[in-house]
Structure 1
Amino acid sequence: MPRRALDNPLVLAILGLLLERPMHPYEVLADLRRRSEYQAAAITRGSVYDIVSALAAAGWVSEVARHRAGNRPERTVYDLTAAGRAELVRRLDDQIRHPQREFTPFLGAVAYLGALGPDGAVDALTERARRLGERTAADERRLAEVLADGVPRLYVIEAEYALGVARAELAWIDAVLADIRGGVLAWPEVK
């Protein structure tokens, strides 16, 4: 299990948080959820604890303290080791330098947009744009709140990136809708 856990995309986020300060896994989970809805959607309490356990087994984090508050379970606080920092830097450098093609469910659906017909495509894309616009506005508010709380911008730069991607998608949808409505994107005759 540890090797598989070390392949989890959340490893990078957890190592990054521990670079900021030592914390226990529940704090890691809370910080991830507070800072970014995009990360929060991909995590569970169990996955964070499993990943931290794998990080400790790999020597990338080490236990620095144990705390107990009242009747609550004992919480183990972890800190990044020199090997963990080196792994964080290695992974960051690799992922930033080498763009990957990411296949999203939306990309898969767009490939067959024609099956909806022009009216169905307009309806579906209009609805997606509305929902994406609402989510983007909420994400902008959340980011502003996090920054106002004093979280350094560099610690939430991924939220800025995600907003940029969402805005680009909205602009693309608007352009496609204009092309459909204007007859520029034509549907072939169906037999």
Structure 2
Amino acid sequence: MAKRRKVANPLALAVLAELTAESMHPYEMGRRLKEHGKDRDIRYTRSSLYMVVEQLRKAGFVAEQETVRDNRRPERTVYALTDDGRGELHDWMRELVAEPQHEYPMFGVALSLLAVLPPTEAADLLEQRHTALTAQVEEIRTTVRTAGEQGVPWIFLIEEEYRRGVLEAELAFVTGLVASLRQPESVRARQEFFDNRT
């Protein structure tokens, strides 16, 4: 069972991970998260990043190390990972890697309510999704191939491989669902169901 975290935002986990490399200020954290492609997995804004850093500070997971003054820029507070923060990072990572969590993706919501659409329209829309998913899979393949050619170690590409695997599974599911929706007996059964609901 998932533990209740003092700071449960996934962005907090990414901040803790970035601080294992070195102490830094939030602006630098944001730059590195983007540079490392974490913005594809974790949604955040500049203000949410600063808010999470403050929550981590209050929880004792990060501490102010120094304030840097530069004539051309405003003051910047540099934060360091505390021992408690390092412990939280490792404990949280172990939980996330080992224990499956029930997530609520929007596509699952749409599928649970698919019966409100006429079968032919649902199939048409799913074919549009299929096209978009195919493009995303190809983009990931290109990214991984290019990164590999540039010598990026495979461990830094595993989230892309995971994303590709999930998208490929969804592609296979969508392909089968479209085929089912296009079968006349399936369309007729769904249309009767749809007609009875309206």
Q: TM-score w.r.t. structure 2 length?
A: 0.80
1:116 aligns with 2:117: yes
Aligned length: 188
Structure 2 CA distance for partners of 1:32 and 1:107, relative to 1, 3 Å? same
Contact 1:5 1:51 in 2 (8 A): no
| 2:79 partner SS | strand
Q: Deviations over 1:96-116 (max 9, x none)?
A: 222111112111111122222
Give the 3 Å change call, closer, same or farther, for CA 85–5 of structure 1 in structure 2: closer
CA displacement at 1:175 relative to structure 2: 1.8
Stretches of structure 2 lacking an aligned partner (at least 5 in a row) = none
- Give identity over the alignment, percent: 36
The change in CA–CA distance for 1:145 and 1:29 in structure 2 (over 3 A counts) is farther
For residue 136 of structure 2, what is the aligned residue in structure 1? 135
Match of 1:38 in 2: 40
- The residue that corresponds to 1:77 in the other structure is 78
Q: Secondary structure at the match of 1:75?
A: strand
> What are the Cα deviations for residues 53-77 of structure 1, in whole angstroms up to 9, with x where unaligned?
1212222122334434441122222
User: Structure 1 residues 149 and 32 mapped into 2: Cα distance closer, same or farther (>3 Å)?
Assistant: farther
SS of equivalent residue, structure 2 residue 24: coil
Q: Which 4+ stretches in 1 moved above 6 angstroms? A: none
- Alignment match, 2:169: 168
Cα pair 1:118 1:180 within 8 Å, conserved: yes
Counterpart for residue 180 of structure 1: 181
Deviations 1:7-64 (A, max 9, x none): 2121111111112332221122122223134335x10001111111121222212233
| 2:51 equivalent to 1:20 | no
CA distance in 1 between counterparts of 2:84 and 2:148 reads 30
Residue 26 of structure 2 corresponds to residue 9 of structure 1: no
Query: In structure 2, do the counterparts of structure 1 residues 137 and 102 end up closer, same or farther at CA, with 3 Å as the change threshold?
Result: same
What TM-score do you get using the length of structure 1 for normalisation?
0.82
Matched position secondary structure for 2:63:
strand
Shift of 1:149: 6.0
CA distance in 1: counterparts of 2:105 and 2:17, whole angstroms: 25
Separation in 2, partners of 1:144, 1:29: 26
How many angstroms apart in 1 are the aligned matches of 2:151 and 2:26? Answer: 22
Contact kept in structure 2, 1:38 and 1:159, CA below 8 Å: no
Q: Counterpart amino acid of 2:38?
A: S
Distance 1:96 1:143, change over 3 A: same
Instruction: Report the counterpart of residue 104 of structure 1 in structure 2.
Output: 105
Give the SS at the match of 2:73: coil
**Structure 1 residue 88: Cα displacement:** 0.5
